[in-house]
Structure 1
Amino acid sequence: MKIDFSKSKILIVDDNPANIDILLELLSTFDVRAVLDGTSALEAVQQELPDLVLLDITMPGMDGFEVCRRLKEDPKTKDIPVIFLSASSDSNSIIKGFDLGGVDYVTKPYLAKEIVARVQTHLKLRMTMRVLDRLANVDELSGISNRRRFFADTSKLFEEMKRSNTSLILFIIDIDNFKTVNDTYGHSIGDSVVKAFVSTVKKNIPSYNCFARLGGDEFVLTMTSISQDQARDQMERLRSNIEQIRIVQNQDIRFTISIGMSRLEPSDRDLDELLARADINLYQAKKMRNALVG
């Protein structure tokens, strides 16, 4: 499979303008930026995340090793592949580079075909990892987090909110009569219902922390640092807006949602307790249909 690298963003960090000019020429088919020192490099990645960093080791002030260490400490930048650049082939430097999280080590003077090949290889690996991450963590139909991602992220969030004594509100949302919609109108309409629901949540709930699909017609949403009344008001507006949606123009195909709500209590030992209370409230809401309980 041929890959278009023209949009791949590469950041070059080198204090020698002559070295930068060489790399800019060799990598002219990529989207390349360059900076002359470590501090500028850290600022540049915050402004726009690159797909790859080519990082000179020996620079005045902050050297390449320190830049890499800081990149790997930051959750936002820790997965960016770093290729070290150096005039030295000293084994200790190479080992240190890999220990700090570098993915490769290129020595000067550069061989044109070699550096392009190494850059392309690590960009391909980066793209592959992104695809695998999406397959593992994103619901294919809706484009939001899947069950696995929800539990991984929200279990950590639960512990953080409990330690800081910060509010955590959780909603389990069920599309009413979803099986009937599929059976009556077909699965393509059912898919449209799911997509319309997800789109409406994104437009109407600006403050959610995590939004995930747990199963076919069941979703979960969390909010933090918000009062219970504020969270409830947002979800009531969502519920009201959902019932106004027409899935197919000129046809009266509509749907509603039922919502179970719970909040983090001091006595909660884990996320499961929060989910269990929301699930009980959802059961009550579904008895009424198109309702919020909690």
Structure 2
Amino acid sequence: MLKKRLLIVEDSKPIALVIEHMAKSVGYDVTIAHSLSEVKKLLAKDHNFFVATLDYGLPDASDGEVIPFIIEHDIPAIIMTGRMDDNTHKKLLNFPIVDYVTKENSQAYHYLMMLLHGQLTNHKIGVLVVDDSLTGRNHIQQLLLRRNFTVYCVSDGTKALKALDEKEDIKLVITNHEMPGMDGVELVQRIRRKFSRTEMIIIGVSNSKGNYQSARFIKNGADDFLRAPFCPEEFYCRVIQNIEKLQYIEEIESAVNSDYLTSISNRRYFVERVSKQLNNLEISDLIKVLAVVHIDDFKSINDKHKHEAGDEVLISFASLLSESFSEDDIVARLSGAEFAIFSVDEKSSGILEKLKKLQADSGKRSVKFGNININFTVSIGGLVTDTGDGIHESLAKAVEVLNGAMNKGKSQLLIEGATA
């Protein structure tokens, strides 16, 4: 995959090198220019840049002349400036820039790093804009597109609820209050019935002069509030801070639900998810297989090559396990060298084929540790389970089947109730 290209325009070589180091650390391919004349020569040949950082005051462009030149070439711009007064501030806000950063202290470069990383990753975050005013929708949409978010726009609450059902990437809803039919506060109430604060951010917007609107939105489930017309800076600050809050929560949940070594789901989360699936009436007529996988002779790998080598084998197999099953399946590390799989299909033969392939691919896998290559095999045991079966009882039974299979030797596969 080709890296996104960043153009750094900075007359200070030390600062340019700092920005270059930061940009490369988050995944950019970097080109540097030190003056407007260099930029003009460069863009005459190549203007395929994803984003640019621009020094406001260059030797041959002391008053921000580089900014409109870059914007004319459709390159999103982040402005770096060592000076800030009312006139400069007003001038910058009149440009359709990503943002500006004042070179005051090290915190400015942390902020720049956040901006650069966001331009690469914000497209993964869907934002739903709800406003019956086309002008209002377009204004917010353009602000969000500058930050590279994926934006969906609808004109009323009913369409908003439909969009939330259809678009799984939506993490933020920005809704106006004054809309015919379902107003913004009612929409917030309806959204909160389905999505908690740890799943969805809601920001209310109103141009009403009443001071109570912000409190109404917050009390009914919104995370934040903006009074229109608002300053783009305030808009970005509120959007980014709320998204960061949601991302922190997701990181905490991921740490709680993931195995510390392999990063796949842990036992607790596996039990929780499979338990829900076993009570899911939508899959009641499908075949459900719960299987437990054990790496054969794992203790001998640890004894012969030390625990660090064993860890590499576990990580390698976990990666293969994730690659071998789809997002609709549930995989996890239970403990030690024991892993679990929950898979649903119309026929058990389809699940058996996936398990056989996992077993065959494991035997072909070689884990490099220092100067040696470690090969391993796996045994699999489990059963066809049913809707309403208890997860703990099913898991215990799957382990029994696995132990019985392993008593016969290595590379065993036994799924009770499955037919080829």
Asked if TM exceeds 0.5, the reply is: yes
Instruction: Tell me which residue corresponds to 2:320.
Output: 200
Instruction: Determine which structure has the larger strand proportion and give its number.
Output: 2
Q: Aligned partners of 1:252, 1:26: CA distance in 2, in Å?
A: 53
The amino acid across from 1:289 in the alignment is K
Q: Tell me by how many angstroms 1:71 deviates.
A: 3.9
C-alpha separation between the residues in 2 aligned to 1:208 and 1:185? 36
* Paired position in structure 1 for 2:188: 68
**Are 1:80 and 2:200 matched, yes or no?**
yes
- Aligned partner of 1:160 in structure 2 is 280
CA deviation profile, 1:31-62 (whole Å, cap 9, x unmatched):
24362513554565544724432211222354
1:102 aligns with 2:219: no
1:250-269 to structure 2, matched below 5 A, reads 253-264=374-385
For 1:164 and 1:48, locate their aligned partners in 2 and report how far apart those are by CA, in whole Å: 24
Is 2:109 the partner of 1:19?
no
Q: Secondary structure at the match of 2:343?
A: strand
Q: 1:51 to 1:75 in 2, by over 3 A?
A: closer
- Cα RMSD between the aligned structures? 3.4
- Please identify, of 42-51 and 184-193, the stretch whose mean Cα deviation from structure 2 is larger: 42-51
- Which amino acid counterpart does residue 231 of structure 1 have in structure 2? I
- Taking structure 2 as the reference length, the TM-score comes to 0.60
Q: Describe the shift of the 1:47–1:254 C-alpha distance in structure 2 as closer, same or farther (beyond 3 A).
A: same
- 1:145–1:212 CA contact under 8 A, matched in 2: yes
Encode CA deviations 1:145-194: one digit per residue, 9 max, x unaligned.
Answer: 11121121111112225994643210011111222212322344323322
- The aligned runs of 1:1-294 (5 Å cut-off) are 2=111, 3-4=114-115, 5-6=118-119, 7-8=121-122, 9=125, 10-20=127-137, 23=140, 30-32=147-149, 33=151, 35-38=153-156, 41-42=160-161, 46-47=166-167, 49-74=169-194, 79-88=199-208, 93-94=213-214, 96-160=216-280, 164=284, 166-206=286-326, 209-248=329-368, 253-264=374-385, 270-287=390-407, 288-293=409-414, 294=416
Contact (CA 8 Å) 2:382, 2:402: kept in 1 or not?
yes
**Identity of counterpart residues, as a percentage?**
26
Distance 1:76 1:128 in 2: 15
Q: Distance in 2 between matches of 1:48 and 1:283?
A: 40
Q: Which secondary structure does the structure 1 equivalent of 2:342 belong to? A: strand
Contact 2:324/2:354, CA 8 A, preserved across alignment: yes
Give unpaired runs (5+ residues) of structure 1.
none
Change (3 A) 1:100 1:260: farther
The one-letter amino acid of 2:274's match is T
**Deviation larger for 74-83 or 117-126:** 74-83
| Structure 2 counterpart of 1:236, one-letter code | K
Q: Kindly state the Cα deviation for residue 237 of structure 1 after the two structures are TM-superposed.
A: 2.6
Deviation per CA, 1:251-276: give whole Å up to 9, x if none.
5521111111122258x752111111
Gaps in structure 2 of 5+ consecutive residues: 1-109
Cα deviation, residue 95, structure 1: 5.1
| Residue 120 of structure 1: how far off its partner (Å) | 2.6
SS at structure 1 position matched to 2:265 = coil
Q: Which has the higher contact order (CA 8 A, sep 6+)?
A: 1
Q: 1:252 to 1:87 in 2, by over 3 A?
A: closer
